[in-house]
Structure 1
């Protein structure tokens, strides 16, 4: 393990891996480089309320932040690639959520493919395509709410003989044991429910 001051070897009879997960930033031209890109943590820690908040992702996290920041007074536009938000929920539940959100002034753009984010002097023009037509909206902050991935990079799990799944999560059994019987993985790092 590299602590910044050099390599350190850590041993123990039982080892717990609980490194959590991190936000996924979609591969959209200009998004990763944008000074207006924020994570959910950065948005919460900011003391500046964005006048115009664009949210990429219409899942639980995107919906939660849309409701919060709309309530604070931000103009919120949420972009969802799928044809509707909450596609895994019953239609009546999704419809009720959409009504609540839109009644609160949140613009939901479903079936939209965000194609580019550019930085400008007064914000970030965000370009998207919907039904074959290209549109642009400006935002003062862009929240990437496209999901989370287990934080397993740089852990050296392969060197320790700890198996991971195709998504990079630590593979565990019903007792949270990894492929090494003295190593356990708990929380988001094992790819289980994230309790949204």
Structure 2
């Protein structure tokens, strides 16, 4: 038997082995379907596990330790300057990834999911041809496309040794003395935090008038204040006009509100967004519809215009989040299995793992204004939180958006320490249709940061504990 001789028939073929792909594969297998999951990468996990979510959060945890050690000096505990061992850091990252890959392979084996290494291309709506695989063709009853997304390159350039994508930055080959970041979204800010903590002089340019465009400005403000201390420079309303890689530096020309500048940096990180991987899939041999930005069009059951083909995760648009992709993958699997399932989520949580963190879910204040939705907004500043004081993190804020008619919670936003965990209470409150009164009357332990959610809700009741109630007119 030579490579490419075998053919396979399955109930469900899944193209892509990231969170959307393996989420779909595991759910479909649990529902009794015969599943094959195809990806050029032999190890499951996708970009999220190998070059995105997991490695970035591994390094962000280490950056947090460094920054916490610096803050501890003002509290009476002083540490020596950290000794940075890049080889050991990369080894720790790789160990984390390997452990998680091993877990996914084990789960695939136990569920009977067939892992196929190769590149898939549709021949028609019931068959895909494979390249670089032991299997030459897979015929299927249903297919789920979960091919994800890739970073957008700066026009006229490709990632090289000095112009980096997020994947290149997470390789952590060295700590550049001067790093320039193009893009003030979450990827640029998170990786900028890592490199600044490790010792790089970080400069950042953002085209819009503030960092994290689209996130409520009051949530971003504490982070911007912290980053002005951590980064060397932050340029807003700045356009990059030229980017040229040389052997020993990258030449950058950019235009700020003050005028044009020409600078040299050791490395440049391009973090200007991501684009879906929908090209070269042979979709023209199906009825699948792709929009002008490359996103595959789906309904609320993740079904494409080709009724037996589904698409989930980044390639289908929406919020490019791993947990969203996993949920969508599970929904597609359930629909294929005959379950009446659909993507009916009121509160999708998002987290920016900077220092401080930002997390939000449900309706945002900017979205409410744009859509002319009347909301009541109350904020609890962390300067009134006892726990925040003990941790030296009083710049945070917790805010709640509620329906002014009945007090139903519509959105929650938090900036501060450990918001990645705090936001889940807001998600549950929105999904359960809870009122601000319900959250206020739920007993929160003291002293904790979770109290800030209870106290923000108490403001709606006119009875906050650690700040004066508002005067009612």
TM-score, normalised via structure 2 length: 0.39
Q: 1:15 aligns with which of 143, 158, 169?
A: 143
Q: 2:254 aligns with which of 114, 124, 128?
A: 128
Query: How far does the alpha carbon of each residue in 1:33-55 deviate from its partner, in whole angstroms, 9 at most, with x for none?
Result: 76411111121123322222111
Query: How far does the alpha carbon of each residue in 1:102-138 deviate from its partner, in whole angstroms, 9 at most, with x for none?
Result: 1113421111111111233431121101126211222
Q: 2:283 aligns with which of 157, 161, 172?
A: 157
Correspondence list, 1:24-173, <5 A: 24-27=152-155, 29=156, 31-32=157-158, 35-131=161-257, 133-173=259-299
Distance apart, 1:158 and its partner CA: 2.0
Gaps of 5+ in 1: none
Greater alpha carbon shift after TM alignment, 108-117 vs 34-43: 34-43
Query: How far does the alpha carbon of each residue in 1:29-84 deviate from its partner, in whole angstroms, 9 at most, with x for none?
Result: 5x337641111112112332222211111111111111111111111111111122
Q: 1:187 to 1:49 in 2, by over 3 A?
A: same
Distance 1:191 1:128 in 2: 30
Counterpart in the other structure of 2:377: none
Distance 1:156 1:43 in 2: 32
Distance apart, 1:154 and its partner CA: 0.3
Distance 2:247 2:276 in 1: 35
User: What secondary structure does 1:68 align onto?
Assistant: helix
TM-score, normalised via structure 1 length: 0.89
Q: How many residues align?
A: 194
User: What secondary structure does 1:66 align onto?
Assistant: helix
Gaps of 5+ in 2: 1-120, 122-129, 322-349, 351-473
Distance 1:138 1:57 in 2: 17
Contact persistence 1:81–1:111 (CA under 8 A): yes
Distance 1:161 1:14 in 2: 14
CA RMSD of aligned residues (A): 2.1
